[in-house]
Chains A and B, each alone.
Chain A
């Protein structure tokens, strides 16, 4: 398991740096990490390892694909979690997603309070929920990037992955 740990840690740190600098997770990085994850699992546990890795890749990808379709997260994040799944497997990546989402919510709250536009943004969220659930207006579900405030998802992913490690 040792090499897998190093692989995951290096990958997360690299993605963290690029994401914070340019709000980008390069395709090269995610592709290399996915391939390395698949290869390492194949070498380590043979065909069973490859299946484990592929299952992780697919579940990480699918879990975030829906969010991407609603423009909630960037494409880089989807591929990042696919790569994490390829390295560490299904269970790890699902837990990572759950914890990352929680941390993202906390960070969002902090940003909201710091920018002193709590009421305005909250009102918009309530309108959003009202439109999508009560009026079933699906077009409204797709977030408009320009109207939204964005922050690097890696701020939440790093503590999320760390939490999964600790538990």
Chain B
């Protein structure tokens, strides 16, 4: 084959002029696809998480009174949330806001990742290290009219544009009324 024998190291001028145009076309296509994939994946992860939590809030409500007795009913990531609700929430809310955000991410990120993994099948579309939880609206279990759960998540995406380190953030928010029995 010619490729094996030949060793010329030159580029045609015409090709040099056309290639960048082609490159721009391909890169912009990749960028658009990347953004839309992440947009879809993030919004489904966020809405799925809130839906699942809202639907399974009843045991948490029971748990609110009697934690030890019902703990076997709940999948592990949710158990962490419940424990957090019981033991840590008040003390963390009182401390610094920054610390609160850290704890928020530590507790709710595994939860969100849990639903990312469940929904995307074998392909991993979202990278956990680029994902941050912005805001969590916790349901008020003592006041039923304000029993709403919500998550706002942010995904950091570096665009593949040469010479520019352009970073964009994709934000998604989802709110859901929780079901806590009649």
Contacts and interface: CB of A to CB of B under 8 A. Distances in A.
A85 interface: no
Interface stretch (A5-13, A41-49, A50-58, A70-78): A70-78
Contacts of B20: 101-102, 104-105
Interface of B: 2-20, 23, 27, 162-163, 165
Interface of A is mostly: helix
Interface string A84-96: 0000000000000
Contacts of B23: 98, 101-102
A108 to B, nearest CB: 4
Given A68-B3, A78-B3, A98-B162, A152 B19 contact: no
B9 A24 contact: yes
Contacts of A18: 9
A75 B7 contact: yes
Contacts of B12: 71-73, 143, 145, 148-150
A102 B162 contact: yes
A117 B15 CA distance: 16
A31 B88 CA distance: 61
B2 A74 contact: no
Nearest to B160: A98
A136 interface: no
A73 B20 CA distance: 14
A104 B16 contact: yes
Interface in A124-165: 124-125, 128-129, 143, 145, 148-154, 156, 163
B4 to A, nearest CB: 8
A45 B19 CA distance: 36
Given A98-B162, A101-B23, A105-B20, A76 B9 contact: yes
Contacts of A74: 6-11
A67 B7 contact: no
A25 interface: yes
B162 A124 contact: no
A75 B10 contact: no
A112 interface: yes
A107 interface: yes
B10 A151 contact: yes
A145 B7 CA distance: 15
25 contacts: A15-B9, A23-B8, A23-B10, A25-B7, A26-B7, A67-B19, A68-B3, A72-B14, A73-B10, A73-B11, A73-B15, A74-B9, A75-B4, A75-B5, A102-B20, A102-B23, A121-B17, A125-B17, A125-B18, A128-B18, A148-B13, A150-B13, A151-B11, A152-B10, A167-B165
